[in-house]
């Protein structure tokens, strides 16, 4: 039986109607209302209708989580890990189906959606292994007849809010470590891409996850997200989203001193020095800037290039951008798909107009694609501006589209100064063959992720992921410490002196 047949509540002429997953059961929202999601490459195609949940549905989900969490916390960590391993195997079994659904739901090409699913598979396997790792440490005491150690305990109920650009990978890399740590989870996916999270819930349930340990509610980010973040029965919030939303969620959680982990926006830079391999730099920037249609928090947005190689690099990048095959991500020849919805066209184009008004030079792109095969989709041309200064808005604000600004500089020192000049600090790349500058850059660049001779995209699951400054609040996802992010640490002191008298 296909996944879609398993989780469908009913069907209409507008496509399937999908339900919330609460307490191990599929349920309609108490509101009785639904919302639709369409294919951004062909907006007349409805992917499905989803529950427009309310605070009452959230309370149902929290009730289920509160009931299930103690039993889950008492389950041995290796057993929790085995459920994640079975989930990984189910994800592998359904990989192609999930990838094609993801392309239809959010637009990115099959090569990328397959990678998105593979990330979820890899995280599940990685976290399954974490179930048999030491969860604390023993520490020598400074006193006689005393033993010291730490242990890790679940937070309790974790609320997870995920974005639309990685519909499976990000929910997986938050949910799996949260579950392994012994927490119950309330997961709210983005309204543009709820389907893959519902699929994930079904597979976890099939793998043996007890009812109520994972609950999924769909609905508007504003009202439902606020209700989730402000509910005092939620012990922790984990959010990936914009910096603006992150600040708002942090304020809500701060009122009750509840833990809040935030992975936020970026204005990611590539530095190209005069000794760089220009061909490699062009290829990497084209992928980093136009892959996922520029809709990654780690997407290349700024290119800071030494003037000696500015023309060679710029000419090469324009050629690469204009050669990109744009279209429906399900077509094997497509290299860049649509934006996630029609509203994003307006948002990206506003920055094109801002760039022109600020005096930057538009080299290519700068408009929507609206004729022929593109007439029904959210397609926007790969856009490149040059002669951009660090003070311009297009050099400081996150565009989240296929939009690259080129900023010329004279030296390494100026390049680093410009790279560090925004409020963000998520991902930065530098192209150089100079070993001394490589090690200086490791120290000088204010960024949570730094790549050398590679794009700003391409995180690996065994490495911590997260940013500095306004790109986050100091927490890191993935890597060996991922489970710790969803845990409380207790320090234990055991004294065993000889009895007196």
In terms of Cβ atoms closer than 10 Å to its own Cβ (0-12, 13-18, 19+), residue 406 is: buried
Non-local (6+) Cβ contacts of 244 within 8 A are none
Separation CA 15–CA 37 (nearest Å): 10
Of 71, 101, 81, 62, the residue nearest 214 (C-alpha): 62
Residue with tokens 């699913």: 117
Separation CA 468–CA 41 (nearest Å): 34
- Per the structure block, which two tokens stand in for 369? 């694609």
Separation CA 54–CA 176 (nearest Å): 25
Separation CA 286–CA 270 (nearest Å): 11
Is residue 297 annotated as a catalytic residue, yes or no? yes
Contact 428, 271 (CB under 8 A): yes
Distances 130 to 68, 160, 293 between C-alpha atoms, Å: 22, 20, 34
Strand partners, 27: 20
Of 195, 190, 180, the residue nearest 160 (C-alpha): 190
Selected catalytic residue, list 130, 135, 253, 297:
297
Contact 418, 389 (CB under 8 A): no
Selected catalytic residue, list 130, 135, 202, 263:
263
Instruction: Compute the CA torsion angle 336, 337, 343, 349 (nearest 10 deg).
Output: 20
- What is the β-pairing status of strands 424-425 and 468-469? antiparallel
Please work out, in degrees rounded to the nearest 5, the angle formed at the alpha carbon of residue 337 by the alpha carbons of 424 and 196. 80
Q: Is the dihedral of CA 23, 27, 32, 36 positive or negative?
A: positive
Three-state secondary structure along 212-243? CCEEECCCCHHHHHHHHHHCCCCCEEEEECCH
Sheet holding 236-240, edge to edge: 25-27, 20-22, 214-216, 184-188, 157-161, 236-240, 259-263
Separation CA 340–CA 331 (nearest Å): 17
- Per the structure block, which two tokens stand in for 52? 């427009």
Separation CA 6–CA 77 (nearest Å): 29
- Per the structure block, which two tokens stand in for 147? 């033993």
Catalytic residues: 263, 297
């Amino acid at each position: 039986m296909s996944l879609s047949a398993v989780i469908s509540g009913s069907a209409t002429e507008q496509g399937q109607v999908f339900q919330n997953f609460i307490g191990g059961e599929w349920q309609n929202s108490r509101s009785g209302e639904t919302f639709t999601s369409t294919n951004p490459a062909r907006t007349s195609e409805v992917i499905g209708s989803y529950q427009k949940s309310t605070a009452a549905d959230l309370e149902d989900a929290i009730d289920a989580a509160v009931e299930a969490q103690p039993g889950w916390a008492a389950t041995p960590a290796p057993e929790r890990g085995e459920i994640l391993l079975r989930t990984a195997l189910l994800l592998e079994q359904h990989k192609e189906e999930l990838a094609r659904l993801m392309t239809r739901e959010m637009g990115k090409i099959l090569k990328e959606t397959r990678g998105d699913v593979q990330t979820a598979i890899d995280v599940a396997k990685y976290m399954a292994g974490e179930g048999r790792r030491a969860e604390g440490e023993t520490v020598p005491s400074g006193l006689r007849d005393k033993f010291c150690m730490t242990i890790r305990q679940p937070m309790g109920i974790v609320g997870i809010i995920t974005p639309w650009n990685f519909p499976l990978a990000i929910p997986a890399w938050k949910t799996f470590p949260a579950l392994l740590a012994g927490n119950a989870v309330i997961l709210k996916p983005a309204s543009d891409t709820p389907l893959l999270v519902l699929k994930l819930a079904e597979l976890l349930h099939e793998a043996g996850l007890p009812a109520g340990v994972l609950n999924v509610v769909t609905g508007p980010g504003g009202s439902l997200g606020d209700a989730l973040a402000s509910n005092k029965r939620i012990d922790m919030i984990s959010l990936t989203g914009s910096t603006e939303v992150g600040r708002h969620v942090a304020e809500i959680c701060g009122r009750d001193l509840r833990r809040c982990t935030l992975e936020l926006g970026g204005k990611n830079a590539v530095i190209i020095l005069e000794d760089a391999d220009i061909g490699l730099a062009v290829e990497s920037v084209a992928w980093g800037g136009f892959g996922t249609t520029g809709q990654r928090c780690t997407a290349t947005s700024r290119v800071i290039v030494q003037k000696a190689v500015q023309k060679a690099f710029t000419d090469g990048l324009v050629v690469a951008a204009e050669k990109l095959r744009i279209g429906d991500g399900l077509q094997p020849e497509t290299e860049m798909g649509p934006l996630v919805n029609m509203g994003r066209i307006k948002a990206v184009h506003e920055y094109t107009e801002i760039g022109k008004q600020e005096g930057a030079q538009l080299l290519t792109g700068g408009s929507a694609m609206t004729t022929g095969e593109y007439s029904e989709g959210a397609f926007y041309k790969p856009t490149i501006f040059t002669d951009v200064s660090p003070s311009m808005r297009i050099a400081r604000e996150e565009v989240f589209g296929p939009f690259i600004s080129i900023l010329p500089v004279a030296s390494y020192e100026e390049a680093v100064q410009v790279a560090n000049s925004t409020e963000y600090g998520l991902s930065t790349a530098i192209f150089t063959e100079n070993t001394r500058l490589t090690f200086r850059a490791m120290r000088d660049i204010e960024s949570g992720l730094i790549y050398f001779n590679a794009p700003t995209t391409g995180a690996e699951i065994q490495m911590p992921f997260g940013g500095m400054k306004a790109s986050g609040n100091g927490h890191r996802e993935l890597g060996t410490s991922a489970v710790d992010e969803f845990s409380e640490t207790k320090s234990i002191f055991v004294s065993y002196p000889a009895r007196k008298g």
